[in-house]
Structure 1
Amino acid sequence: MKVKVKRSYVVKPSEPTWSGLLSLSELDQIGTMMYVKILYFYTTPSTLSPDAIIHSLRLSLSQVLVHFYPFAGRLSWTTAASGGGTALALNCNGNGAVLVEAESDAVLADLGDFSPGPEFNHLVPSVDYSGVDPIPDIPLFAGQLTKFRCGGISLGFAISHVVADGQGISHFLFEWANLASGKPLSSAPFHDRRLLRAGESSSSSSPQGGRRIFHHSPPLIIGQSSNESERMKETKVSTLRLSKPQIHALKAADNNGRSCNAKLRGYTRYEVITAHIWRCACKARSHKPQQPTNLSFCVDIRRRMEPPLPDSYFGNAIIDVVIHGVSGEIISRPLQDVASKIRDAIDGVTSEYVNCAIDFYRNEGDVIKRQELGTFFVGNPNLSVINWVGLPNHGLDLGWGKEIHMSPGHDCDGDVLILPDGIGGDGEGSLLVAACFQVDHIQDFNKYFYEDINNL
């Protein structure tokens, strides 16, 4: 698939906005020097020409940036509040977001079931922090409109994770859709990040072994001295559908396929499905029984803080949690035991825990150290399972109808997303599991994923 960029626009807020340096919380600066990538596909917008579509997007983007002005800013380096070292600050200078107009020689039918592949990279603007451009020159939001030969279009977004988490990104996209469709803003973002005590010190004492709690050296494959060889291996993404009966089967059966009635029914779908994914990954990767393995996931803390953060808090209000396990035990023990480990870790994310984590990261001082502490290698033998079910990512209507498919962009080994099923899914029914594994492991993962359920 060939994609040709026709032109690029810098879109600035349509009205003057607050300007200055916005302090970032410690959670904004932990392992988030990356861009979240999302792709939406639409059939032919019958009432709008390509010129009308790009004009509408530019106009409505300039309007929504008035409210979400951090996305029109740039990052900059500053001195860490704890003294010494460097930190990131958000320079709200109104320099603007980027919108790219492109066209492809392909048709939507060429993409089949829209399973992510290397060609999808051409549909999302290429921006990252690892290039030659200095940070103050890199936009924090970039979008790309691509017109296909059949008349269909895609919208690909690259969005800085430093600025916002998944909840904030979804809030931004759907308020943009509201304005593009001629509707008013439904709720304004909450920008005061001091609620997470940015630049302040907590009086609470850190739990024992703070570094062991908040910093996790990822396990390696037994016999290897680094994860470099695992990082270099080719990966592939597979999207698997879990029907409502299959989810119920997971929640109502034990490790040996016997009905266990209420044993797993008290656990959430996320806890049970994630336990199942972890087990299937250990099998597919052919781990030795004694192989250590980590499972990481993030927990939204908005309603876990005391007092709670506003639902519209715009920033990173998530914290990463890591569970340690041994492959042989994960495979052999009842699924409820694995789900219980996940439940206990989620329940452990309290306001006190978050404040202690913030203190721990603040005391590290330098943002580079924070990035290293907050970055988890999720490749073999480890795993990351992120829950997107609660995020309103589906149904993005910018004036020409809802998408026919939404696809997250991810290509890292061990990176798994649980998504609502946009095709006939009702949020409480079927789900999608978008799993990225090494090419040598993906087929076995797919096999065990359904085989273990069918054997229940």
Structure 2
Amino acid sequence: MEVKLKSSLMIKPAETTWKGCLSLSEWDQIGFINHIPTTYFYRLSPTTPFDDSMSNTLKESLSRALVPFYPLAGRLRRIDGGRLVLDCNAIGVQFIEAESKTKLEEFGDFYSSSSEILGQLSPSVDYTSPIDEQPLFLVKLTRFSCGSISLGTTISHVIVDGLSASHFITEWARLARGEPLLKMPFLDRKALRAGDPPSRLSTPHLDRSDFHHPPLLIGHSCSVDERKKKCSGALLKLSQEHVAKLKIMANEGRNMNSKPYTRYEILAGFIWRCACKARKLEDEQPTTLGICADSRKRMRTMLPAEYFGNASFIVTATSNAGELLSKPLGFAVSKVREAIGKVTEEYVWSAIDYLKSQSDLTKFQDFNGLWSCKGPYFGNPNVVVMSWMTLPVYGLDFGWGKEIYMDPGTHEHFDGESSILSNPDGDGSLLVKMDLHVEHMESFKEHFYNDIR
């Protein structure tokens, strides 16, 4: 598929916004220091194809959305110790327009579309450029010959987590439809003590294993070789029947005084086991599962749901491959619950204090780069499982109807990364986006379906 670039411009806030340097929280500055892509596909009638007025509506509404969400129009800047601050300078976000002679029907059911094709419809970030030149939000609007379009977006994970990203894009769509904002963003990052020194108050003992680098393959001293291997991605569907069977498998032998395991706990443990099998890890091989925990509802003084920043972070569960695979699924799932259960308000403040006391945050930052061993690596023999199940990622209507398909970045592949999504069909099934080294993907698919009994 050929995609021809037509134009590229910066969209600035429609009104004057606050300018200055904004401190970022510790959660903003660790973990994945990259952008998170999604692409939406819209089918328009040949008699009323997408036209310039619709494009102008997108740009104008985006400009207005950047007034309350003005941090996205700024740029990151590095300071000492690998730390980052946000320069709110209103430089703007990048809006790219392209066209293709392809027709929407040629994508088929989308699930089988090649990642290379889907990747052409998503805006790319030049990570070789200085970080203070990289836009924090990029849009790529591609018009197809049939009159339909795709709208690819990518947003900086330093500035937002999944819930905040969904909040912004949803409000942008409301403005494009001619409706007022529904929920203003909560921009005060002091809620997570951004820019404050470490607390002088004593904090409970912190399990620092969550901040240790995940284990390497036995016999390896660095992750560079694993990072360089070619990866592939798959979007796998679990029917409602599959999910029900996994629930039974996971809860066998569970202490009946405890709550049944959640879908996320079950799927995360199951994916972890399948990855270990596909990689044929040695029994004594340590392996870590990265688990996404949201602190918004785990604080006694809850963060507002509209908190605009990273309130989610990674906690870890660790085992040996042999123990993980020789025991029932419930063992892996119990490890997931144990890791999530330690995230209390005391844990959050203790973890923030620990990170504030570090002279250099670089060792906690993952740029998904191929050139460095500095940051944490959740590829082989590890995995990280994100949950998109409760994110409002479907039904994005900019005024010409809801999307017919949302692609959760299946063109970007980083070994061991996985996301769980609900199926937009609403039939109780789930979708699992999985990235693995090419050599392990087919085996993973076999275990993913054949191990459900």
Deviates further, 245-254 or 180-189: 245-254
Q: How many residues align?
A: 441
Aligned-partner SS, 2:214: coil
Q: Deviations over 1:209-251 (max 9, x none)?
A: 76x4342222222233332222222211111111222111111
Contact 2:42 2:405 in 1 (8 A): yes
Residue-by-residue CA offset, 1:150-184 (whole Å, 9 max, x unaligned): 32211111111111111100000000010111111
Bigger mean CA offset, 363-372 vs 410-419: 363-372
Q: Normalising by structure 1, report the TM-score.
A: 0.91
How far apart are the structure 2 equivalents of 1:262 and 1:334? 17
| Aligned position for 1:332 | 326
Q: 1:293 aligns with which of 287, 293, 311?
A: 287
Matches of residues 389-408 of structure 1 in structure 2 within 5 Å?
A: 389-408=389-408
Tell me the SS of whatever aligns to 2:120. helix
Letter of the structure 1 residue corresponding to residue 119 of structure 2: N
Q: Write the letter of the residue equivalent to 2:192.
A: L
For the residue of structure 1 that corresponds to 2:147, the secondary structure is coil
Range with greater deviation from structure 2 (164-173 or 359-368): 359-368
Q: Structure 1 residues 38 and 219, CA, compared in 2 at 3 Å: closer, same or farther?
A: same
Match of residue 116, structure 2, among 115, 118, 125: 118
Secondary structure class of the residue paired with 1:275 = helix
Per the TM alignment, residue 388 of structure 1 is displaced from its structure 2 partner at its CA by 0.4
2: CA distance between counterparts of 1:151 and 1:233?
Answer: 39
User: Structure 2 CA distance, aligned partners of 1:107 and 1:333?
Assistant: 49
In the alignment, the residues of structure 1 paired with residue 374 and residue 431 of structure 2 have an alpha-carbon distance, to the nearest angstrom, of: 27
Deviations 1:373-400 (CA, angstroms, capped at 9, x unpaired): 9943121111011000011011111111
* TM-aligned CA distance change 1:395 to 1:40, over 3 Å: same
User: Kindly tell me: are residues 151 and 264 of structure 1, through their superposed partners in 2, closer, same or farther at Cα, counting changes over 3 Å?
Assistant: farther
State the 1:450 CA deviation. 1.0
- Could you tell me which runs of 5 or more consecutive residues in structure 1 were left unpaired when the two chains were aligned: 80-84
How far apart, in 1, do the equivalents of 2:21 and 2:352 lie? 21
2:430 counterpart letter in structure 1:
L
Alignment partner of 1:247 is 2:237: no
Offset of 1:260 from its aligned partner? 8.2
Partner of 1:414: 416
Structure 1 CA distance for aligned equivalents of residues 49 and 14 of structure 2: 23
| Identity fraction in percent | 47
Displacement of 1:69 after TM fit?
0.5
Q: Does 1:154 align with 2:150?
A: yes
Distance in 1 between the 2:320 and 2:174 partners? 47
Aligned equivalents of 1:182, 1:16: Cα separation in 2: 21
Shift of 1:48: 4.8
In structure 2, the partner of 1:342 is: 336
Q: Give the corresponding residue for 2:297.
A: 303
Shift of 1:303: 1.4
Asked if the contact 2:68/2:185 (under 8 Å) is kept, the reply is yes
Aligned to 2:184: 188
The 8 Å contact of residues 252 and 264 in structure 1, kept in 2 or not, is answered as no
- 1:157 match: secondary structure: strand
Q: Give the direction of change, closer, same or farther, for the CA distance of 1:310–1:15 in structure 2 (3 Å limit).
A: same
Does the CA contact (< 8 Å) of 2:49 and 2:147 recur in 1? no
- The answer as to whether partners of 1:263 and 1:336 remain within 8 angstroms in 2 is no
- The TM-score with structure 2 as length reference comes to 0.92
Number of the residue aligned with 2:370: none
Q: Distance in 2 between matches of 1:87 and 1:253?
A: 44
Q: Equivalent residue for 1:82?
A: none
- Is the CA contact 2:231–2:415 (under 8 Å) kept in the aligned structure 1? yes
The alpha-carbon deviation at position 434 of structure 1 amounts to 0.9
Name the residue aligned to 2:59: 58
* Matching residue's letter, 2:362: I
Shift of 1:106: 2.2
| Counterpart code for 2:359 | G
Give the corresponding residue for 2:50: 49
- Using the TM superposition, give the Cα deviation of residue 22 of structure 1 relative to its aligned residue in structure 2, in angstroms: 1.2
Rate the CA distance shift 1:434–1:324 in 2: closer, same or farther, 3 A: same
1:2-401, aligned counterparts within 5 Å?
Answer: 2-44=2-44, 47-78=48-79, 85=81, 87-115=83-111, 117-128=115-126, 130-131=127-128, 133-200=129-196, 201-205=198-202, 208=205, 212-253=208-249, 266-371=260-365, 375-401=375-401
Alignment partners' CA distance in 2, 1:414 and 1:264? 30
Contact (CA 8 Å) 2:123, 2:154: kept in 1 or not?
Answer: yes
Alpha-carbon separation, structure 1, partners of 2:209 and 2:273:
24
Give the letter aligned to residue 278 of structure 1: W
Q: Could you tell me whether the CA contact under 8 Å between 1:87 and 1:366 is conserved in 2? A: yes
**Structure 2 gap segments, 5+ residues each:** 367-372
